[in-house]
Amino acid sequence: MLSLRNMVMKILRTLCMPNLMVKPPNGEAAVLPTVRRDAEANLAPPVAEMISPLSSDPQPVEGDLIEFEVKGPSEDGDAEEYDKNDDLAVPLKPLSREFIHQNFPVPSDILEIDTSTFDTQAVIKKYGYKFDDTPNVPKRRALLIGLKGTTLKGSYGDVDDMKALLKDIYGFQDEEVMVLKDENPGSILYPTRQVVVDHLFILAHSPREGDRLFILFAGHGAQIEDLDGDEADGLDEVICCADGKIIVDDQLHDIIVKPLPKGCRLTAVFDCCSSETGLDLVQARPSASPHLSALDLQFNATFASGALDLPHSFTSESNGVPKHSDGEVVLWSACLDNADSHEILIDGGKYKGAMSHAFVQSIRQSTRQSYGELLESIKQSFKRWHVPQVPQLTSSHKLDQNDLFTV
């Protein structure tokens, strides 16, 4: 019998033909279902994930754009179960702890990070940054990370587009934006895990009320077995660095979310697979109207029938200790935790991450949008481009969908 992972890969090889594209009716962009932002080159890919071998004959725009879904192990444990009716009406079955342990191994080289002893001033000096940290004056600071690895093509463009957006619309200066790309292995800024961790600490260094922080991660994401009990689905989300090593969502939370004080705002965009709860933000369940959180903002049934029934996976506690931040943190993520994100080919032959491109284009078209309006605009872009993924919005606090979005 083939293992679940091997069968998934067999399906991908069989159905995802190289350079297969789907041209939406208006020709605006094409989704490349073979260019996924997961960590296949670094880790075992998620097994309960959305797989999208779109045919050359696009499905109707108002129909279900996902051809089938791998549900996980069947009752006998030897084969997958498929969404044969293509309606996504049945939520994913929980994976057993034994199955997760066997198929989502935790790497042996997880980095131990002590946030209380990390010398951020030393790493600022190491990289030669000259920030204007005038006491009692709110600051702007951004970290933009673009990793192509061996499979992605649009990550550098995503970083460039996001930097231009921050400068043009939100007043960021060049010296306030840190950029990491995996284009030069000899550079001191080559985004190995340690370099990325260093810059995460720099991003959140000496936070104060009024600070405006921003982070983009455009690259590969994946899942591993959860070891501290804060994930209802038993899986932690991770981002992958240029040296093939990972940073776990718990660590991201501890470095850039937990230390933020009241009145400090962090806006995050994660354009990678398995990104829904990439920062382990506590407002990940529906809240009373007019407030919203992740489940309130998933696609409606005209795009992916049944998506509203998918359970959220984060419990907000680690080893019984609630996760908390006094800051205002919002994460715009490309897809559900168990799903893939995709790249698109736009007019002019350039590749873009679908989430990054939709986020940037929507804001450039209208700089005054509420959180709900911006998310809806991103959804509509995905539908128009035939991108088979569900954008997510989670936060560290109750978020009124009518509030005006800003960085």
What residues are labeled active site?
220, 273
Q: Cα 75 from chain centroid? A: 31
- In terms of DSSP bridges, do strands 212-218 and 265-271 run parallel, antiparallel, or are they unpaired? parallel
365 to 350, 356, 360, 369, 392: CA distances (angstroms): 20, 14, 9, 10, 20
Our CA angle for 35, 36, 37, nearest 5°, is: 125
Other CB atoms within 10 Å distance of the CB of residue 238? 28
Q: Which residue has the tokens 């880790």?
A: 43
The single-letter code of the amino acid at 400 is D
Among residues 121, 117, 76, which one has the least CA distance to residue 99?
Answer: 76
CA torsion sign for 159, 363, 327, 176 is positive
Q: What number of residues does the chain have?
A: 407
Q: In angstroms, rounded to a whole number, what is the distance separating the alpha carbons of residues 361 and 340?
A: 21
- Which tokens go with 181? 């790309």
